[in-house]
Each structure stands twice: as C-alpha cells, then as structure tokens.
Amino acid sequence: MPMTKEDNDLVTRVENGAPLGEMLRQHYWLPAIPSSKLEAGGRPYRVRLLGRNYAAFRAGNGTAGVIDEACPHRKTSMLLARSEEDGLRCIYHGWKINVKGFLDEAPNHTGDQQQFCKHVRTNQYSVVERGGIVWVWLGKGQNGAVEPPKFPELPFVDLPEEQRAVTSVEVPTNWLQAVEASMDSSHVGVLHESTTKLTAGSGNERVLMTKALAPRLEFEERPYGFRYAAIRDVDEHRFYARINNFVMPWYGLICAPYEKGPAMVFFSTPVDDVTHRAWFVNFNEHAPLGPTIISTAPDVWNSPPVPTGGAENLWGQNRDLMKRGHASGFPQHLATEDFAMFLGQGPIADRTDEQLCSADGAVLRVRAAILKSVREFMAGKPPTLATSPALDYRQARSVGGVLPSGSDWRVLAEQA
C-alpha cells in the first residue's frame, strides 16, 4: 500500500521540530561516533544529529563528552577549541565547557566567576561508551530530573574489543531508505551477487545458495519492534530458519550466516532530512572476530566508500566491469552497492507511488512501527515501542539453524 505524502514526511523528516526528530531526541540513545576515533586530549569531531551540530571529544582524563558545537559566548565553533583535562576551552575568549556540558570558566568576565558561570545557559547531554561507540541522549528529563531512555542492550554492546568492529560513514540521502534496506532480504542475492562471492567468504554463500528457494516469511511483533523467520525446507524432514530482528528506531540485527559465525547489526541514523550516517557493527559472540570487511576498514568514521558524483556519471558505476560479469558495477564494497541504490532513490524516497510485492513485508513493518510511534508521540503519549515495561533489548536474538519439520522456529532464539 503506497503512503500518503503526509505519512512519508512523518516517517522521514527530522529537522525544524518535525515530530519524528523530537521523538528520537527524547526517547532514544543516538550513536554519535566510534570510540576509537576520539583520542584523549585530541581534536574534537563534528557530530551532526537530527539537523543540529555537536562537538564530540575525549578530554585529557579520558572521558568522552558531547556538547553543542557553538560556544555559548559568541558562537564560534568548539571544534577549534583546546582540549583540557576535563573539557574544552574555546580559543576565541577562553570560556571552558566541561565534559558534562557546564560552563566552568569565563576568564574575560570581570564579575563573580562562579555566579556568572551558573547563569549562562548551556545544554547538557548524557553520554555513555559501550560496544566501541560513544552514545548520546539529547533529550531532557521530566521536571529537570534526568531519566534517559532504556539503553539498547544489543548483543554486541558488552563484547570485548576483539569480538567486534564498528565503522560508519555519512551518506547524502534520508535515513529511512537505508533502514529499509537492512530489512529487505530479497535484494541481497541480486544487488550483492558479485560482492558477496568476492568479499564475504563461504558463510554468505550458503545464503546465496538457498536464495533460489524464496523463503516463507513469518513475522512476530516484539516489544522493541518485530522479528521474522525466513524459512526454507532443506528436505522433507528438516527446514532451515533464519531469524532477523528490527529494533526501533533503526537497528537491523542480521542472523550470522553460519553457526558461531560473525553477525551484523546495521543502523542508519538521521544527520538531517537528506543525510544519514550508516553504521556497521560486525561481531562474534563466540570467538575473536579476526579480519573482516568491517574490521579492516581504513577509517572507522569514513568507511565503507560512498559512490562519487551524481546521475550524470551514474554515481561512478563501472559499466565496463558489468560487461565482464560484475552484477552491480560497484566493486568497492557491499555497502557501496547499497549506497548507490539509496542515491538512486533520491534525497527522500517517494513512497507515494511505489508498487510493492510480496517480498516487501518487512519493509512495510519498519514503516508501520515508526509511524505508530510518531503518532503516539504526537498524541502526547510516550511511544509504546520505546517505553513498554516488556521492553528488553536483550531478547532481540538473530540466530539461525536447521530444525525438524513441524517444530517452532522460536526455539532457536530461546536456545541462544
């Protein structure tokens, strides 16, 4: 069912007070920057989230902070600031903001320093570091009390460093087309046919081998979003089931292609209405990850490669390579192929005139979950999928396995 223009705006736009942006700000932790990008006492980085700019940094004492990019004094960029033991000092007039976002010193003010600093308005944001990522909550507590939302306890957030790898990159399209792709399994064997064979190893080939049999999809609503099993018969006595999870508002947890193998979490967060940051987490709960296409990324803040140019140069597509048998003409990386599709859809995909098919069930459920949440938020209610007492992110287990015919695929998740 195509969407109305109004609904498409509701599920995509985040800027200028758009309800979705306000809901995300208030009810969700946002991944800001990979932990490894921030050096103690090193340079701050611009993190743009929901249409506003922040400075992420690690103070000399090792604590990470996220503050407004604009200095509270006369608004120059705190990206230019000097890093001190517990905060950033603006190089224009020397005001010092600590890692918690409070003004500590205003050396060019002659009156009572303490009194003055207390009365300067600054924003304070809660920050945590888990799973190799600096996360920020940009919301405000009720009546001044700070109560951040539940942290997304996804399966990688407590793993030791050698069992996970994180990269991210900014892509110039709206965030939702990327989130949809993470729940769109029917593109994998088509778009990624060549790159999967070339770069992803034998595990993913198993998925490709079985793709010839279109799977039966069985969906189940969950307190955090939904999960679905892709079921394929192996023979008349057994079937192969893969469980994937969509966790609000943007996490796609993809089942490992083989037992005890590395799994993926994809998420794409809104930078502004027409830009997103694509995140890739590769992790193995059972063993060190070893070298993978994610763990060997050259720059964790700027990988995988984004196609270059626009429609006039086919976003850099290599047609010569296609003549020689490459499926997409984007050999750089599996994700580069996805990015090219998002760019082809335009800055904000037009969902009012699509012609969907039976493979689009999970994509439709992603949209429905977001729309339901935004509508609840607009009605002044906390979104159920962010605040339900039954919400337990640890239950989002994306696992696969072979079961005897007639059994329930849910046992796979329970065993895990």
What does the binding site for Fe ion look like in residue numbers (CB under 5 A)? 338
The interface partner of residue 338, options being ligand FES, Fe ion, none and the CB cut-off 5 to 8 Å by kind, is Fe ion
User: Which is nearer to ligand FES, 74 or 82 (by Cβ)?
Assistant: 74
Cβ-based nearer residue to ligand FES, 73 or 372? 73
All residues at 6 or more sequence positions from 1 whose CB lies less than 8 Å from its CB, including other chains: 356, 364
**Residue 74 touches which of Fe ion, ligand FES, none (CB < 5 to 8 A by kind)?**
ligand FES
* Binds ligand FES by CB under 6 A, chosen from 74, 118, 216, 238: 74
90 touching ligand FES, by CB under 6 A: yes
Contact call for residues 171 and 341 (beta carbons, < 8 A): no
Interaction between residue 76 and ligand FES (CB under 6 A): yes
CB-based contact 277:168 (threshold 8 Å): yes
Question: Taking contact as CB under 6 A, which single stretch among the options 6-14, 44-52, 89-97, 174-182 is the one that binds ligand FES?
Answer: 89-97
382: nearest Cα among 26, 15, 14: 26
Toward ligand FES, which CB reaches closer, 27 or 96? 96
Q: Shortest approach of ligand FES to residue 85 CB, angstroms?
A: 18
Q: Does 232 bind ligand FES (CB under 6 A)?
A: no
Choosing from 28, 57, 95, 393, the residue that interacts with ligand FES (CB under 6 A) is: 95
Work out whether 93 is an interface residue with ligand FES (CB under 6 A). yes
Beta bridge partners of 272: 275
Q: Which is nearer to ligand FES, 74 or 216 (CB)?
A: 74
Q: Closest separation between CB of residue 83 and ligand FES, Å?
A: 15
Q: Which of 30, 49, 71, 165 binds ligand FES (CB under 6 A)?
A: 71
With CB under 6 A, what is the number of residues at the site for ligand FES?
Answer: 9
Upstream peptide bond of 155 is cis (omega within 30 degrees of 0):
no
In Å, the largest CA–CA distance within the chain is: 84
The half-sphere exposure of 105 on its side-chain side, counting CA atoms within 13 A, is: 13
Q: Tell which phi-psi region holds residue 407, choosing left (phi > 0), alpha (psi between -120 and 50) or beta.
A: beta
Q: Which among 14-22, 69-77, 113-121, 291-299 is the span making contact with ligand FES, rule CB under 6 A?
A: 69-77
Alpha-carbon distances of 99 from 67, 93, 137, 404, rounded to whole Å: 8, 19, 14, 55
201-209: long-range contacts at Cβ-Cβ below 8 A with a sequence spacing of 24 or more? 202/258, 203/256, 203/257, 203/258, 203/261, 203/262, 204/257, 206/257, 206/258, 207/242, 207/257
